[in-house]
C-alpha cells in the first residue's frame, strides 16, 4: 500500500469551497488548517491519501447537543457538544 499526500491549498478538505483571502464567501476569517485521510482504490490497488488544506466555517461548525444552536467554539462534556450558553446554564466552568 502506498501513501500519498496532496496539498489542495486554500480549499476546504471536506466540501472543496475556496477559503482563500478575498474569496467571495469570506471563508478566510474562520478557516483552520486541516488534514483529511482517505483511501483511493485504483486498478485493484489501494492507496492511503492525506489531503492537506483548510476546514471552512460550515464544515467546522457543530450543533450543541442541548439547544441545537450551531457553534464554532464548543466544549465536549461526556461525549456531548455543548455551547458556551448551555455550559454556563449547566454550571460548567470554561
pLDDT per residue of the chain (94 residues) written in tens, 0 to 9: 578 899 999 999 999 999 999 888 888 888 899 998 989 898 988 899 999 999 998 898 889 998 998 888 767 777 888 888 888 887 777 6
pLDDT at 94: 63
> What residues make up the domain containing 14?
1-60
Q: Are residues 51 and 69 in the same domain?
A: no
Q: Are residues 68 and 50 in the same domain?
A: no
Residues 6 or more apart whose CB falls under 8 angstroms from that of 82 comprise 64, 65, 66, 74, 75, 76, 90, 92
pLDDT at 1: 58
Q: Are residues 21 and 48 in the same domain?
A: yes
pLDDT at 25: 80
Contact 75, 82 (CB under 8 A): yes
Q: How many domains does the chain have?
A: 2
Q: Are residues 56 and 84 in the same domain?
A: no
Amino acid at each position: 500500500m502506498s501513501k500519498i499526500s496532496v496539498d489542495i491549498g486554500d480549499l476546504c478538505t471536506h466540501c472543496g469551497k475556496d477559503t482563500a483571502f478575498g474569496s467571495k464567501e469570506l471563508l478566510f476569517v474562520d478557516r483552520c488548517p486541516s488534514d483529511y485521510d482517505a483511501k483511493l482504490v485504483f486498478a485493484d490497488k489501494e492507496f492511503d491519501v492525506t489531503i492537506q488544506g483548510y476546514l471552512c466555517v460550515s464544515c467546522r461548525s457543530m450543533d450543541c447537543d442541548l439547544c441545537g444552536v450551531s457553534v464554532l467554539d464548543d466544549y465536549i462534556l461526556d461525549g456531548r457538544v455543548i455551547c458556551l450558553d448551555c455550559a454556563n446554564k449547566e454550571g460548567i466552568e470554561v
